[in-house]
Amino acid sequence: MVNRLVLLVFMMLSSSFCFGQIKSILLWGDTVPAQTGFQQDAVISENHSGDVLRIAEVTRPLIEAYTPNGEADKGIAVLVCPGGGYNILALDKEGREVAQWLTDLGYHAFVLQYRVPKNRGGAFMDVQRAIRLLRSLGVQYGFADWKVGVMGFSAGGHLSARAATAFHEISYAPMDDMDQFSARPDFAALIYPAYLDDGPERALSEDIQPTGMLPPIFIFGTADDGFGNDAIVMAQSLRDQKQKLEFHLLASGGHGYGLRPGNPAAEAWPGLLAKWLTQFD
């Protein structure tokens, strides 16, 4: 079993490639579950409004790896899920820029390119597979396989919430030894999450299942966000079930601000999250 797993990880790493200075690792082999058609490189959107790099189509899911420097290394991995309404991925604003911030703090960061557009089922398979892949890479990269968390923005926040609460779901048939690892993240951070209140009368969405022993969850939102109720509903459900929760709701900031300066929410959540993350050091 161990030798087979070592071989499998080697094969996954041999399928890695570079995006400029970014090392990327494919999630799947030749077959991507529940996908028809050929795999191809991600399609970049022609829409760059707001100075955002958007991916319009992903058929070859992967993670982009960012490694902290030497002594700063905390031995903890964070999977970053960009948002984009499950239609596109805001790759830099809610992915790469966040990953760089995390590595500056000493975390290993991995940006997930999950399947879009309009493929929530495929995206859930991808996030579960990515968490398992990260556990298998712990020795290679130098982080503990029991310290693998997930964080996401907007739709990526929904995907992260689903990963943290529905980890017991079998979203795809096991493909190889990698799938023997747990898909349960060890912590989760939801930053201005969306689609969490799609239940009746804006109740918690049916695909979010906050029962059982969930990982600690951090939630940040703003009252003036059109998706602000999503954060509130999620926090209330976690509180009712006495799950480990930290929740922050600012008065203003709107939606989709990422880490970029000039927005009060964008300038608030990083410090709050950085402090919360220290409990896992």
Q: List the domain boundaries for the chain.
A: 2-280
**Residue 60 is encoded by which pair of tokens?**
């070859």
Give tens-digit pLDDT for 104-135: 999 999 999 999 999 999 999 999 999 999 99
Rounded to the nearest 5 percent, the helix, strand and coil shares of the chain are 35, 20, 45
| Whether the predicted pLDDT of 146 surpasses 70 | yes
Exposure b/e, 236-257, CB count within 10 A at least 16 = b: ebbeeeebebbbbbbeebbbbb
pLDDT level of residue 247 (50, 70, 90 thresholds): very high
Tell me the C-alpha distance between 59 and 42, whole Å. 7
- Model pTM score: 0.93
Please, what CATH class does the domain formed by 2-280 belong to?
alpha beta
The helix-helix angle for 155-165 and 120-141 (nearest 10°) equals 70
